[in-house]
Structure 1
Amino acid sequence: MVRHRKDMTLVQLVPRVLQMVLNLSLVFLAIILSTLLVQELIIFGKMLFEAKSLDHQLFLANILLFFLYFEFITMIVKYFKEDYHFPLRYFLYIGITAMIRLIIVDHDHPLNTLFYSLVILILIIGYFIMNLTPRERPESRWFFNK
């Protein structure tokens, strides 16, 4: 006997449609970010081969911008590989890289640089705590094994 799938109710259809819209949007965003990543590589080439005097701060800021694009693309790939879930550690990587870039680009005010450094320290401490914390709690294993 062949079972026929029942017609989907609105409650079942809405999340699927929204998930599909989200997935298509993320694919489109990944294409845009990939284009920007290639543009950054072209800018690197121009800076290295055309400039007689290289502005090291600008070059380093562009490298960090390149890594921001790279990390966002990696996060989108991980989203699809991990069953529609963004790993928290990638947000921390992006935050740390963005703050380092901000320090390099905007280091004129010492107090702001100190605040940016404190933000980086907080993000690193959060990453350290996240890695120390087991994914499965011992209490949950004990509870379900009864």
Structure 2
Amino acid sequence: MVEKYKNWLNRIIKLFLFALATLIIVYMARDLVEIFNVIIMPNSERSLGIISDYILAFFMLFEFIVMIVKYIEDTHNIPIKYLVIISITAILRQLLVIHNDAVQTIILTLAILILTIVLYVIELIKKKEIERKKNK
């Protein structure tokens, strides 16, 4: 009986993830059209800030799609490594957009350094775990 409910809930979760992925893809297509319009249309304002905002939003949505796919592939589990990498990417994107405030730039750079150290520690732990399993 419990297994039946688990299967039912799993199907609902997959349906919602599919709906979310579909909505994100539709929004990405809309962003792509907007990028095209801003770049190609002669009467539109060609501000580098506007173009970069659309492009950065597009890649953020792309990362969400990748995360959903990874979640499904890894049996409904997102490894911490991917979350840290996505966080580093998001901070780098923020640095691209807001780079005129020195204090904020230093704080964001330190955040990237800390996340890079976390990635290194995760890899060390992973290697030690593999070695431990080999020695058994």
Tell me the TM-score range normalised by the shorter chain: 0.7 to 0.9
> Contact 2:95–2:105 at 8 Å: present in 1 too?
yes
**Larger deviation: 32-41 or 100-109?**
100-109
Larger gyration radius, structure 1 or structure 2: 1
Aligned residues: 134
Residues 44 and 59 in structure 1, CA contact (< 8 A), matched pair in contact too: yes
Measured on the aligned residues, the alpha-carbon RMSD in Å equals 2.5
Contact conserved, 2:95 with 2:108, CA < 8 A, in 1? yes
Larger relative helix fraction:
2
Structure 1 residue ranges (4+ consecutive) displaced by more than 4 angstroms after TM superposition = none
Q: What is the CA–CA distance in structure 2 between the aligned matches of 1:20 and 1:75, rounded to whole Å? A: 18
Give the one of 38, 41, 52 matched to 1:47. Answer: 38
Which of 22, 25, 35 pairs up with 1:34? 25
Q: CA 1:136 to 1:20, structure 2 compared with 1: closer, same or farther past 3 Å?
A: farther
Residue 103 (structure 1) shift: 2.5
Once the two structures are superposed, the pairs formed by residues 37-116 of structure 1 within 5 Å of their partners are 37-50=28-41, 54-116=46-108
Farther-moved stretch of structure 1 (114-123 vs 67-76): 114-123
Unaligned runs of 5+ in 2: none
The share of aligned pairs that are identical, in percent, is: 28
* Residue range with higher mean Cα deviation, 83-92 or 29-38: 83-92
Task: Give the TM-score normalised by structure 1.
Answer: 0.73
1:122 aligns with 2:114: yes
Separation in structure 1 between the aligned mates of residue 4 and residue 132 of structure 2, nearest angstrom: 36
Deviation at 1:107, TM superposition (A): 3.8
**Structure 2: how far apart are the matches of 1:61 and 1:135?**
42
Please list the CA deviations of residues 75-114 of structure 1 after superposition, one character each: whole Å capped at 9, or x if unmatched: 2112222322223333223212221222233345322222
Distance of 1:24 and 1:135 partners within structure 2 = 38
